[in-house]
Structure formats: C-alpha cells, structure tokens
Structure 1
C-alpha cells in the first residue's frame, strides 16, 4: 500500500494485561479507533509502543494484529530497532513478509558511536527490504544524532529511503533538511509540542504521541496548522486549540512520556496506565501533577470539541 506521509500517524501504544502479556483485542480496537478518527497510518513497536520490552515473536504477533485490524485502510509502518544489526534486519524482513507497507528505522539501542558505524547499521537495514523507509532521528533518547548532511548522504545512497521522523526538538533541522534535499524526503515532526512550528517551516506529517488519547483533537490541530501555513486557515482557532493542547503535548517530550500518555489514555477510557518494567506507573507528586494536567484539559475539552464542530 502506498504511504501517505502527509497527515497524523500515531506512534501507537501497546496495552498490557495484568500479567504483562499483550492485550491484542484492545490493540486491534485502538488501531481502528485511531483510523476512524482520521489518522493516515500507524507506527507500532516504537519507543512509545514499548518495543524494547517485547520479544521478537511478540513484535511479529503485534504487527499481525495491527494488519488484521485495519486491513487496507491505512499503512502499518513498524519501528525497527534492536541491540544488534542482524536482529534489526530480521525484524525488517519479518515486517515486510507480514504485509507492512513501510518501516521506521532506528539507530541501535544502547550502542551509539560515530557516523561510520551508525551509517553502516541503518544502511544494512534499509538494504534488507524493498519497503519505503523512514529514518527516526531522536538524539535525545538514543544519543545518535543524524545530522542533515548525513541524512542527505543516506538519501543519495538509498532510493527506498523516503522520509525522516525528526525528533531532535529543533525545528531548524526541518529547515536545514529542506534546504539540502528540496523535496527528496518527506519530513515529519516527531515531538508533539513542536508540531505547529514544524509545519510552519515545511514539515508535512506528524508521528504523534498524545493522539493515542486525543485523536480527534490531534487531527484537527494538524489540519488547522496546514491550513494556516497555506494561508487559508483561521489562526485564532489554531492558537486556541494549540494553547489548550500544549500542556498535554509536553508530556511527549520527557523521560516518562510512555507512562504519561498511557495515563491520559486511561483517563479518557481508551487504554490502561500499565507499563512493562523496567518502567513503573507514576506515583506520588509525579502522578498528582500529571492528573492535574489531564483533569484541567478534560474540563476544558467540551468547549474545544464544540468549537471544532462549528462550521
């Protein structure tokens, strides 16, 4: 299936049962809910999906559930990450065999080093598949920073390298990549609280986190931001929605973003706060502050949703 990168693509969470096994029934429901709300693709097995805590067999089974849930409605683009290059290649090939439409390739977990080794890793994974590949650049989390010049080098070497999820938190990277590559790569924002700024400087898509709890609002925010960039939208409506959403979106950019986003899902009745160790659920002051932020947003939400529904 051809991938439309120009929209909201959730980095989908993974719900666990009480014994920490994967709740496949809910995962399928969650996939359908996000697509029904206007999302244009799904990215399972990413950082937010707790892919690092799942076995190879669990990952493949989760992809099969996602594919079965959405069929040919939207592409499934799993995160491909591992401690070793060989296992990343194995997962990439399993994803292609299962029927995924593309891949999101990460640098290796734990080991971060120089450009020569990081290029060799991602190039090996890209070469192992015929699927279109999106590079995930997140130096904050993975300590490997793919600089614009290096990304341009990868683009020159690999025809199936087609997109970048830019999560450096610096929107100037979008500007730099556009200057170097023109329209060679699709550029997507990977940090929630920079989405409006990223679109204004030329990003075309959003690999989103809080969308797992607030898909309607996320799709509306993306649409309004695109319209304003194109000179056709209502800036006041965009600012009102963004200002309401920002306290929630900032939950995506801190070390415990998985716990926070899953807590938000639980509060809206679409998921559970349960996470797999070594992560633990929030407690104490962290939990109280998160609950206050979510409660404040939910209290204002009816007015926000009503405004979105106005012609």
Structure 2
C-alpha cells in the first residue's frame, strides 16, 4: 500500500453503537463500517471524539479494533484513535493496535490534563514512537485544550518518520496553509471539522475525517470528490444542502446530534453512553427540523 493512501479520501470517524443494555453493539459496528466502505470511504477511524472513546474501557477499545479489523479485512485500513488519561496507557493501546492488525493510528492529546508544549510534545512523541505504524496527529484545541502549532508539528515530524499526517480541527483553515508552507508535502493534511471540508480542500487538504458520513456516506464521498476535482459549481450545490447537517459536528453535543441523524435515516440509533444523554426539548426539535428538511430535499447523486 502507498503510505500516503491511508490519508487520502473520506475516513469516517465512526460512532460507537450501543445496544439497549449499554454494551457495544459489535454486530452493527461491523455492518455499519462495511456500509461506509461500500459507499466509497477509504478507511475507518474508531475511538475518536465522536466514537466516545473517553467513556470506553481499555478492553472495550481493543474489542472494537478487533471487530473492525475482522469486518474490513484487506478492503480498508482501521486507524484507531489513541487517547488516554496517561502516557503509559496510550502507549499500551498503540502497541496493542498494531498486534490486532490496525494499519495506522490517530494520536489524540491526553484527556483532561493539558499544559505546555514540553509536556504535550513529550506525550505525543511517546505514543508515536511506541510503534512503527503510520501515525496521524489530531489537533483539536477546542476539545482538548492542546494546540499543536505548525512549528511544533514540524518538530514532531522531524523526530518521527512514521508521523505521516495531521488531522486539523482548530477551526482555522489558515493552519492548513501554514503547515504546508512550513513542511511542504512532508505531511498529509486532513480536515477534521465537517463544515470546513470544501475550504480545507481548497487550502490543500487531501483527506477528511468525517462525522456526518455516518448518516450520509454517499453524499460525503461525492462532496469530497467534487471539491478535490475542482468542480466548484457542483460542489457548492451539494455543500449548501449538506451544511446545516455538517454544522451539527461543531457543537458541544455533536455526538448526540450525529447519532440522532443516524437514527432518523436508518443507519443506527441515538443511544449514547453517560454522562451524555440524548438531546431533548428545543435543541431536539431544532435538530429534527434540520434533519427532516435535509431528508425531504436530499439531492440525487
């Protein structure tokens, strides 16, 4: 496999489905992953923010990796998110991922504790250096309070040849330009905020770690392909339909909202793991208005 092919295309940040008893629904997880690959997605990224990784135990995470590796086989790589409260546990998770058969890693900042570059850089370096698997650094300062600046990313890239990509979720598409200016083609750049995908591709991104793809896989792949091809008129038309949904990925209860969309279109259920609870009241009503309008006006591809 071309090493950069891991990072080029639409890679779902797959949600973690739960059964009525609160356990992970592995049967649906496998089916859902195959559905998205059938639609043209190029890999699977479990155990990220949207995957509710912070509420999953260590063994649950390993079981999810195994299910996806078995479900997808050689069709597409599984690239799990690696995040933990401690460096030691994150390193163990990274090493187990390779043993299970995952073909890459998405390296998140540690949960809860975030300070300065000396400590956050040491954490990222320890996880990336724990394996020879290709790695993608996940920069999401709104969620994790750690902001990997372009110069710091360059430092990690110089130290670790297996750091191949960055998922950029700072909400500032200028970061993609800045990283490319500093590092050229050394790293693949992927958009991590759904409502910045067209702008991110225009700035030079080659991949999309997508959220609403869990409910609209074909539309997500089509939008990505149109934007990459430079078909601005067709991309803009599809983007305008999609944007109200894509903006659900950028609010605090994005997990609940994306799962609600999945349930409404028949690609999952809205069960989440506490402390999250399903949305209700005005927030739910407003979200359902957006979802139902999207369903009623869904374009033909």
Q: Does the pair score TM above 0.5? A: yes
1:182 corresponds to which of 176, 181, 184: 184
Aligned to 1:215: 217
Aligned to 1:135: 137
Deviation at 1:159, TM superposition (A): 0.5
Deviation at 1:89, TM superposition (A): 0.4
What is the distance in 2 between the residues matched to 1:289 and 1:17?
Answer: 26
CA RMSD of aligned residues (A): 0.7
What is the distance in 2 between the residues matched to 1:184 and 1:51?
Answer: 29
**2:293 aligned with 1:296:** yes
Matches within 5 A, 1:46-125: 46-125=48-127
Instruction: Please list the CA deviations of residues 164-213 of structure 1 after superposition, one character each: whole Å capped at 9, or x if unmatched.
Output: 00000000000000000000000000000000000001000000000000
2:283 corresponds to which of 271, 286, 290: 286
**2:242 aligned with 1:245:** yes
Aligned to 1:277: 274
Calculate the TM-score normalised by the size of structure 1. 0.95
Q: Secondary structure at the match of 1:67?
A: helix
What is the distance in 2 between the residues matched to 1:18 and 1:209?
Answer: 23
What is the distance in 1 between the residues matched to 2:38 and 2:69?
Answer: 15
Aligned to 1:162: 164
Question: Any gaps of 5 or more consecutive residues in structure 2?
Answer: none
Deviation at 1:4, TM superposition (A): 2.8
Deviation at 1:163, TM superposition (A): 0.2
Count of matched residue positions in the alignment of Structure 1 and Structure 2? 299
Aligned to 1:264: 261
Deviation at 1:148, TM superposition (A): 0.4
Instruction: Please list the CA deviations of residues 266-285 of structure 1 after superposition, one character each: whole Å capped at 9, or x if unmatched.
Output: 00101000100000001100
Question: Any gaps of 5 or more consecutive residues in structure 1?
Answer: none
Aligned to 2:11: 9
Deviation at 1:236, TM superposition (A): 1.9
Q: Secondary structure at the match of 2:157?
A: helix
Deviation at 1:299, TM superposition (A): 0.3
What is the distance in 2 between the residues matched to 1:69 and 1:31?
Answer: 8
What is the distance in 2 between the residues matched to 1:14 and 1:86?
Answer: 24
What is the distance in 2 between the residues matched to 1:142 and 1:152?
Answer: 20
Q: Secondary structure at the match of 2:268?
A: coil
Instruction: Please list the CA deviations of residues 36-85 of structure 1 after superposition, one character each: whole Å capped at 9, or x if unmatched.
Output: 00000000001101111111110000100001111010110000000000
What is the distance in 2 between the residues matched to 1:101 and 1:24?
Answer: 20
Instruction: Please list the CA deviations of residues 3-61 of structure 1 after superposition, one character each: whole Å capped at 9, or x if unmatched.
Output: 43110000000110111100000000001000000000000001101111111110000
What is the distance in 2 between the residues matched to 1:272 and 1:74?
Answer: 24
Q: Which runs of 4+ in 1 moved over 2 A?
A: 1-4
What is the distance in 1 between the residues matched to 2:10 and 2:257?
Answer: 20
What is the distance in 1 between the residues matched to 2:200 and 2:234?
Answer: 18
